[in-house]
Amino acid sequence: MAQTEPDSAAEAVLDALTFDEAGLIPAIAQQHDTGEVLMVAWMNRDAIIETLRTRQVVYWSRSRKALWRKGETSGQTQALKDFRIDCDGDTLLLLVNQEGVACHTGRRNCFYRAVRDGRIETIADVEIDPAKLYHA
Amino acid sequence: MAQTEPDSAAEAVLDALTFDEAGLIPAIAQQHDTGEVLMVAWMNRDAIIETLRTRQVVYWSRSRKALWRKGETSGQTQALKDFRIDCDGDTLLLLVNQEGVACHTGRRNCFYRAVRDGRIETIADVEIDPAKLYHA
């Protein structure tokens, strides 16, 4: 497969990053205005280039082994607001504007289980029926 | 090395998690009141048990191959406010109260580089001289 050509910004970003042995780097998606941590997923080189170019977040799906244009199927897109790199260059923080819900369970974010009073509680409701997110 | 005995809350948490082949799981630390994403590090089974028991965050240092009691050397501790698990059980979100700075560079958080105008800019100042954080 032909590699995507990075522009100069993407080139600088790629040079600053350390990818794991699978060529991936974890990325946190955070809602830009509320600070809500939405999800964590993985990006590869091409996902980063496309995300910076289109300003719509693209991950790498480890299960499907393919680029995962967030929201392409479900409509729950993430518009990129800021792209940040950590001190070690091995984790990304994406400030985004989440359309609808980030989690495949239909919840706004993926971190809906909390340890409370010595047990795990579900602290967020399903906002969109997952069957509606992934229908054909 | 003897394994740490989990209490029932820790037992439930460990049962809900999927660790990687090295026995680790990534954990995001987020300032509980401002929503600032501070850092990402790794936890193993014993780090989780001790964090839940002491309410002070303990990671696993992959470089030192030892438990890393955050702030033990630097004083920059993280008091646990809430312990959250994502939908897949393979990422943790720790809501904490960060004492001082989270980043080893002396900045409040590790995500101080941002892509702006086609290049990487440093968007946060050093608040504490790193030499002061790690002196003997």
The residue type of A96 is V
Probe site for chain A from B40, B88, B126 (most A CB atoms < 10 A): B40
Query: pLDDT band at A135, cuts 50/70/90?
Result: low
Instruction: Give me the pLDDT at residue B136, please.
Output: 47
Given a contact cutoff of 8 angstroms between Cβ atoms, the answer to whether A109 and A120 are in contact is no
Return the DSSP state at B14: H
The two three-digit tokens of residue A108, written as one number: 């706004």
pLDDT digits (tens, 9 = 90+) for A71-84: 999 999 999 999 99
CATH number, domain containing residue B48: 3.10.20.810
Residue of A25, A30, A59, A84 best to disrupt the B interface, most CBs of B under 10 A: A84
Q: What is the predicted pLDDT for the residue at A7?
A: 86
Q: How far apart are the first and last CA of chain B?
A: 28
What's this model's pTM, rounded to 2 decimal places?
0.95
Q: What is the residue range of A18's domain?
A: 8-100
Average model confidence (pLDDT) across chain B: 94
Residue A49 located in a structural domain = yes
The complex scores an ipTM of 0.94
Whether residue B48 is contained in a domain is answered as yes
Q: How does pLDDT run across A97-120, given as a tens digit for each residue? A: 999 999 999 999 999 999 998 899
Mean pLDDT, residues B77-104: 98
Domain assignment present for residue B44? The answer is yes
Residue (of B116, B29, B27, B88) closest to A107 by Cα position: B88
Please check whether residue A125 lies inside any domain of the structure.
Answer: no
In 3D space, the residue among B69, B125, B122, B123 whose CA is nearest the CA of residue B99 turns out to be: B69
Residue A128 maps to a domain: no
Per CB-CB distance under 8 Å, the chain A contacts of B40 are 26, 28, 86, 91
* pLDDT of B123: 98
Would you say residue B112 lies in a domain? no
- pLDDT of residue A23 exceeding 50: yes
| List of chain A residues whose C-beta atoms are within 8 Å of the C-beta of residue B9 | 115, 118-119
Residue A66 has pLDDT above 80, yes or no: yes
**How many domains are there within chain A?**
1
Residue of B nearest to A38 (CA): B86
Hey, is the C-beta of A107 within 8 angstroms of any chain B C-beta?
Answer: yes
Task: Give me the residues of B, 10-39, that contact A with CB < 8 A.
Answer: 12-13, 16, 26, 28, 30, 34-37, 39
Q: What is the pLDDT of residue A136?
A: 47
